[in-house]
Amino acid sequence: MLRFLARRLLIIPVILIGLSLITFVVSRLVPGDPVKLAAGPQARPEQIEKLAKEFGMDLPLPQQYLNYMAGLFQGNWGYSISTKREVGKDLLTYFAATLELTIVSTLVGLLVGIPLAIVSARWRDRWPDHFSRLISIGSVSIPVFWIAIVLQIIFAQNLRLLPVGGRFDPRATYPATYTGMLLVDTLIAGNFQAFGTALRYMILPAFCQSLLVIAVVTRQLRGDMLDIVRKDFVLVARANGIPERIIWSRYLMKNALIATVSMLGFLIGFELGGSVLIEYVLDWPGIGQYALKAALLLDFQPIMGSTLFIGCVVVLINLITDMLYRVVDPRIGMNS
């Protein structure tokens, strides 16, 4: 376990440096001048030159990259050319919204996906199995942005049960910030009315983002349970008269969940970095929407900051998942 942890910790800086190089090169290959966009169409040449010098955009590209990385190692994420705000503070604010959405959607996906997988495996090739597979396949076959738009039309525009988008009612007083996650902050403050408001705004984006988790967990867990149900120890348990309920809840679930746990790191990482469409369509103020707006404005510092920040989080989550995987299945830890 210690050797595995040491190897992973040595690889992490290499991955992040490579990610920063790729992001830097790609962001600079995009045609357009971010300084001119930030200065505005009426800006004079001397104003553009002054703004470029202020943000170090007049230097050669290698020097710009080295200056950025040097500042990053000192905790300086730079400033946005378009908003003039600190990128580091913006990342923490927007990431809290994305993290809250990811946690809720993952929990929803697990609460739905695990029972669907059990039902599907327990009644294989019967109507509950067909129904579960229809849900899991349909969850990833239909574009999530289309589902979000349809749900907006039905539940927000027609039925008026849920808000169209956003994170909190703009007409109400915004809750005090403790963690940046509104559901947690409103509970800490004991403001249950604000908690209900934040929960209503959470329903649509969390449901849309949970569809991937439902699909992956259902398919993965169903396949593993059908594979384990034919193992010798399960047959022996049945021969000894152990009730089916105990066999499915203890024997099968305990072993089948090992592979599902290993998938959680991938799923959470994908949700954190791949929620751009959901955040954009449903106007969720997360880091994906923040990065998208920066990309449209060719705002270099927020693009680099968002990519590296999400990269660090994803690498950390995968490291924790791999360690948890070795705790759940000690045989892997012994061979590593």
pLDDT one-digit tens code per residue, 31-56: 767 777 777 777 788 888 887 787 77
Q: Give me the mean pLDDT over the 271-291 stretch.
A: 87
d(CA 309, CA 299): 16
* 138 and 256 belong to one structural domain: yes
* 61 and 95 belong to one structural domain: no
Q: Looking at 11, 42, 73, which one is the last position of a domain? A: 73
Q: Give me the mean pLDDT over the 124-149 stretch.
A: 88
- Would you say residue 331 has pLDDT above 70? no
The domain total for the chain is: 2
Domain annotation covers residue 83: no
What pTM was computed for the model?
Answer: 0.86
d(CA 132, CA 125): 11
Alpha-carbon dihedral 188, 193, 195, 197, rounded to 10 degrees? -150
* 68 and 152 belong to one structural domain: no
* 108 and 251 belong to one structural domain: yes
* 263 and 315 belong to one structural domain: yes
* 52 and 148 belong to one structural domain: no
Domain annotation covers residue 233: yes
- At residue 334, the pLDDT reads 46
Domain annotation covers residue 274: yes
Is 275 within 8 Å of 102 (Cβ atoms)?
yes
Domain annotation covers residue 108: yes
- Would you say residue 298 has pLDDT above 90? no
* 191 and 269 belong to one structural domain: yes
> Domain of 294: which CATH number?
1.10.3720.10
Q: Give me the mean pLDDT over the 239-258 stretch.
A: 80
Domain annotation covers residue 167: yes
Query: CA gyration radius for the chain?
Result: 24
* 210 and 173 belong to one structural domain: yes
Is 97 within 8 Å of 176 (Cβ atoms)?
no
- The DSSP string of 36-65 is HHHH-TT--HHHHHHHHHHTTTTS-HHHHH
Residue-wise pLDDT tens digits, 166-214: 999 998 889 998 999 999 999 999 999 999 999 999 999 999 999 989 9
Domain annotation covers residue 78: no
d(CA 209, CA 211): 5
d(CA 202, CA 183): 9
* 31 and 148 belong to one structural domain: no
* Helix intervals (H) in 58-181: 61-73, 87-122, 127-141, 144-151
Residue-wise pLDDT tens digits, 67-92: 888 888 888 888 888 888 899 999 99
Q: Looking at 73, 103, 129, which one is the last position of a domain? A: 73
* 116 and 183 belong to one structural domain: yes
What are the counts of helices (DSSP H) followed by strands (DSSP E) for the chain?
16, 0
Tokens read off for 150? 């349809």
Domain annotation covers residue 169: yes
Cα–Cα–Cα angle for 107, 9, 179, nearest 5°? 40
Q: Which long-range contacts (CB under 8 A, 24 or more apart) does 223-227 make?
A: 224/255, 224/256, 224/258, 224/259, 224/260, 225/117, 225/118, 225/121, 225/252, 225/253, 225/256, 226/121, 226/124
Domain annotation covers residue 81: no
d(CA 321, CA 330): 14
* 118 and 28 belong to one structural domain: no
- The amino acid at residue 317 is I
Output b/e per residue, 148-184; b: 16+ Cβ within 10 A: beebbeebbeeeeebbebebbeeeeeebeeeeebbbb
d(CA 137, CA 35): 46
Q: Does residue 257 sit in helix, strand or coil?
A: helix
* 121 and 16 belong to one structural domain: no
Q: What is the DSSP letter of 174?
A: P
Residue 126 neighbours by CB under 8 Å, 6+ apart = none
Q: Looking at 10, 43, 73, which one is the last position of a domain? A: 73
Cα–Cα–Cα angle for 71, 75, 77, nearest 5°? 65
Print the domain residue range for 123: 88-335
Q: Which helix or strand (DSSP H or E) is residue 245 part of? A: helix 244-246
